Structure 1
Amino acid sequence: MTRIIAGEFRGRRLSVPADTTRPTSDRVREAVFSMLGARTDLEGAQVADLYAGTGALGIEAVSRGAESSVLIEADHRAAKVIADNVGICRAQRRVRVVERSVESFLASTAGPFDLVFIDPPYDVASDDVAAVLTMLLPALAQEAWVVVERGSRTEAVELPAGLEVVVDKKYGDSVVHLLQRVDSPS
């Protein structure tokens, strides 16, 4: 069972698409938001949840005070479940679901985003994640935060200039990288 942990939507249970996603566990999500809470205030933040899956990360951010969240999911079944989860939380005015590939979305968005979650399927190549991070840079606000979740057995992601690792934490089969934008992309 996936549920919203804290804030306005606390305790709401979210549906999980059968066989199409690997949702971030409640334990890892709580750890991510604890890391963020120690470093930034989510109040008024503009959030993007790339590879949204269930939408739990983006919805949780809004529950904890973010102004808005856009949830990007290419899989049609998962996007439908995300839309249902947004409805369960009655968050339609602050959370938008976009059914497209992450690359297509990033090619057409200006941002700026204060916080971005990147939690692709573990079989997505590290080079592909690095390319997404490079595409994301122009859409990041100054000093924005980026949370990348990968499998603990996946190859390290080469970070583009402009992003710096602040924290790396391992949780079972997952590794969470908390990154911060440190300068303007050229």
Structure 2
Amino acid sequence: MTRRRPSSRKPRPPASAKAKGPGRRNAGRRNAGRLRLIGGDYRRRLLPVLDSPGLRPTPDRVRETLFNWLAAATPGARVLDLFAGTGALGLEALSRGARKASFVERDPRVARQLEENLATLQADERGRVIVGDALTFLAEGPTPCSLAFLDPPFRQGLAEPCCAALEAGWLTGDAWIYVETEAGIEPRVPATWQLHREVRAGDSHGRLYRRAAAASSPPDDAC
């Protein structure tokens, strides 16, 4: 957009990021370079985040809403954070009392930063980072978890195959699963998953599911 200025004045410098509006694209940049944990033992801790294309931390408001829903389920949980990125969801779960968390991230640089952030929080004994592709990881021998976060890159069709793979032994009988996709997309999920709550923010749509207990559910081991 062309901005009118008096011809006698020098052009003004570009507006800073703080002066930008609250749209989804700009909102994601207001805290560029850092992640703020919002609850639990690590509340208000700020952690560095790499400037990496496609790195899309779940917004503070969505995380706060999600973990309010999961308040009773998070303490003692065994967490699987797929497409971890900044690790915002898994780190928030550890802050709120999760027993342990596994973070799966394909980008080695992003994974290394996540390992450093776990060490900074002195949570590296409860959190482990797996460098690799999420679907490849899920094809390996499963160890069930009670809480799974699935936030794949948008417009790559990864949500549905990952949901199906999770059902093949990765979840306890009454596990909680959070799936975040682009707005307008409703992935097909296993018949054993029941939609519990939904949250929308900008161009993303998050859905929290509860898995129905089944006789064939895997044992309650650590992931």
Whether TM exceeds 0.5 here: the answer is yes
Query: What residue is the counterpart of 2:25 in the other structure?
Result: none
Residues 42-78 of structure 1 deviation map (CA, whole Å, 9 limit, x = unaligned): 2211001000000111011011011000000011121
Q: Which amino acid aligns with 1:129?
A: A
Query: What residue is the counterpart of 1:36 in the other structure?
Result: 70
Question: Is 1:88 the equivalent of 2:120?
Answer: yes
Query: What residue is the counterpart of 1:75 in the other structure?
Result: 107
Matches within 5 A, 1:10-159: 10-20=43-53, 21-37=55-71, 40-125=72-157, 128-137=158-167, 138-153=169-184, 155-159=185-189
Number of paired residues? 181
Query: What residue is the counterpart of 1:171 in the other structure?
Result: 201
- Are the aligned partners of 1:149 and 1:176 in contact in 2 as well (CA < 8 Å)? yes
- Are the aligned partners of 1:15 and 1:85 in contact in 2 as well (CA < 8 Å)? yes
Structure 1 unmatched ranges of 5 or more: none
Q: Whole-Å Cα distance in 1 between the matches of residues 162 and 78 of structure 2? A: 18
Q: Whole-Å Cα distance in 2 between the matches of residues 145 and 124 of structure 1? A: 24
Note the aligned Cα RMSD (angstroms): 1.6
- Are the aligned partners of 1:130 and 1:160 in contact in 2 as well (CA < 8 Å)? no
Residues 110-132 of structure 1 deviation map (CA, whole Å, 9 limit, x = unaligned): 2210000001111221xx31111
Residue 149 of structure 1: how far off its partner (Å): 1.1
Structure 2 unmatched ranges of 5 or more: 1-30, 218-223
What secondary structure, in the 3-state scheme, does the structure 2 residue paired with 1:8 have? helix
TM-score, length of structure 1 as denominator length: 0.91
Q: Is the radius of gyration larger for structure 1 or structure 2?
A: 2
Residue 90 of structure 1: how far off its partner (Å): 1.3
Residue 183 of structure 1: how far off its partner (Å): 4.0
Equivalent in 161, 176, 179 of residue 191 of structure 2? 161
